[in-house]
Amino acid sequence: MKSSKKMNLLTDLVIIELLGNYTKSTAIAIEYVTDESQSRTIKGEKQLQKRVYIGNLFLNHNYTNKVQNLTDNKDFEAHEMKGKTRVSSTLIQSEKSGEILLDGKILKSESVKRICFYHNSEEISEDKAKELNLFAPAYGQPKTSTSGRGSVSVEDDFRMITLGIAKIRYIKFKGEEYGR
Give the pLDDT confidence score for residue 1 in this predicted structure. Answer: 56
124/118 Cα distance (integer angstroms):
5
pLDDT at 126: 94
**How confident is the model at residue 2, as a pLDDT?**
54
Can you point out the beta strands (E) in 65-180? 84-86, 91-94, 100-106, 112-119, 122-124, 159-164, 168-173, 176-179
Torsion angles phi and psi, residue 168, rounded to 5: -75, 130
DSSP 24: S
Q: What DSSP assignment string belongs to 144-173?
A: ---TTTTTS-TTT--EEEEEEGGGEEEEEE
> pTM for the whole thing?
0.85
- For CA atoms 58, 112, 1, 124, give the dihedral sign: positive
What is the pLDDT, as a whole number, of residue 65? 85
Encode the chain (180 residues) as per-residue pLDDT tens digits.
Answer: 555 578 999 999 999 999 999 999 999 999 999 999 999 999 999 999 999 999 999 999 888 888 888 888 888 888 888 999 999 999 999 999 999 999 999 886 667 899 999 999 999 999 999 999 999 998 888 777 878 778 888 887 788 899 999 999 999 999 999 999
151's CB contacts (< 8 A; 6+ apart) are 67, 71, 73, 76
Q: What is the pLDDT of residue 155?
A: 80
- CB-based contact 10:169 (threshold 8 Å): yes
